[in-house]
Amino acid sequence: METVLVIGLDTVAGANIATCLSSRYRVVGLTSSRPVSIQGCETHTYLEDDVETAEHWLSLVRPQWVVYCGVAAHSAWSVDPAKFSTKDPVVAVRNWVNAAELHSARFTHISSDAIFTGPWMFHEEDCQGLCDSPQAELIRAIEREVSLCDNTLIIRTNVFGWTPAAYGLGEIENLVQTLEAGTYSKLDCYRHATPLLATDLAAIIEHAYQERLTGIFHVAGGERISPVEFVQRLAATCGLTL
């Protein structure tokens, strides 16, 4: 049985990917925040994303595949901008991807589609349509760092799903709660993205791993929508009113 090291169990993407892969792989999950228990997975905490920590866990776990869910793995609709400034995410991913390359492990980085402006994907023929926010610039810098190493795959997406109970109510849980209470009031019609269920993403990246894909891939949901459109569909799915 192959071993997968999932870094970032405190993210929706990381927790759901670890859960989905646990029936077919030996899954070891790491979190730098509150300890979490995920059925079928071996979970641990770590303090710093430094060279020594990355080398320690790659040497100890000996994975064939590393799935990295850092700050860019959070949904662009819900991530706290402060997460981009608490630690240097570029240095962090550099340490993990270099350790993975040293140990001949394939590396999948869950990134964000928030580098694009919305609701359009592109403007004119000579325009890249890229978002110029500090967060988007940082996400692109993280991706550049990952792409410097061999056997790396970058997945640009916008993940949603359930949050492990250890971390309290997540974005989806809070949305359902406010819809049930009839107190939902946010009407964000601008920040378009392509939301994708985290469990669907897990199946997609597993297939990509098996096919040994490398490079940058855009993995999207059915269509590019706004947060308010997403909430409308969530309400309809749950039989609630908005």
CATH number for the domain harbouring residue 19: 3.40.50.720
Determine, yes or no, domain membership for 183.
no
Spatial separation of the C-alpha atoms in residues 189 and 192, rounded to whole Å? 8
Q: What pLDDT was estimated at residue 125?
A: 55
Q: Residue 74: CB partners within 8 Å, gap ≥ 6?
A: 11, 12, 13, 83, 112, 159
Instruction: For 137-235, list the strands marked E by DSSP.
Output: 152-160, 195-197, 215-218
Determine, yes or no, domain membership for 207.
yes
Q: Which residues of 132-166 are buried (b: 16+ CB within 10 A; e: fewer)?
A: eeebbebbbebbebbbebebbbbbbbbbbbbbbeb
Of residues 113 and 105, more confidence is placed in 105
Q: What pLDDT was estimated at residue 2?
A: 97
Give the phi and the psi of residue 227 in degrees, each rounded to 5: -55, -40
Confidence of residue 127 (pLDDT cuts 50, 70, 90): low
Q: What pLDDT was estimated at residue 80?
A: 66
Q: Residue 234: CB partners within 8 Å, gap ≥ 6?
A: 172, 175, 176, 179
DSSP 130: B
Confidence of residue 7 (pLDDT cuts 50, 70, 90): very high
Confidence of residue 14 (pLDDT cuts 50, 70, 90): very high
Determine, yes or no, domain membership for 136.
yes
Determine, yes or no, domain membership for 135.
yes
Q: What pLDDT was estimated at residue 180?
A: 78
Confidence of residue 29 (pLDDT cuts 50, 70, 90): very high
The domain of 80 spans: 3-164+193-223
Q: Which residues of 210-222 are buried (b: 16+ CB within 10 A; e: fewer)?
A: eeeebeebebbbe
Spatial separation of the C-alpha atoms in residues 14 and 161, rounded to whole Å? 11
Q: Which of 2-6, 78-82, 208-212, 222-226 has the lowest mean pLDDT?
A: 78-82
Determine, yes or no, domain membership for 87.
yes
Give the pLDDT confidence of 40-92 residue by residue, as tens digits.
Answer: 999 999 988 899 999 999 999 999 999 999 999 988 777 666 666 667 899 99
Whether residue 226 has pLDDT greater than 80? no
Whether residue 119 has pLDDT greater than 70? no
Spatial separation of the C-alpha atoms in residues 240 and 71, rounded to whole Å? 31
What's the number of domains the chain is made of?
1
Give the pLDDT confidence of 66-78 residue by residue, as tens digits.
Answer: 999 999 998 877 7
Determine, yes or no, domain membership for 204.
yes
- H or E element that contains 21: helix 12-21
**Mean pLDDT in residue range 102-124:** 76
**Mean model confidence pLDDT for the chain:** 85
Give the phi and the psi of residue 174 in degrees, each rounded to 5: -65, -40
Determine, yes or no, domain membership for 159.
yes
Spatial separation of the C-alpha atoms in residues 116 and 215, rounded to whole Å? 18
Q: Residue 165: CB partners within 8 Å, gap ≥ 6?
A: none
Spatial separation of the C-alpha atoms in residues 49 and 93, rounded to whole Å? 8
What tokens were used for 86? 């608490």
Q: What pLDDT was estimated at residue 175?
A: 77
Determine, yes or no, domain membership for 137.
yes
- H or E element that contains 30: strand 26-31
Spatial separation of the C-alpha atoms in residues 156 and 46, rounded to whole Å? 26
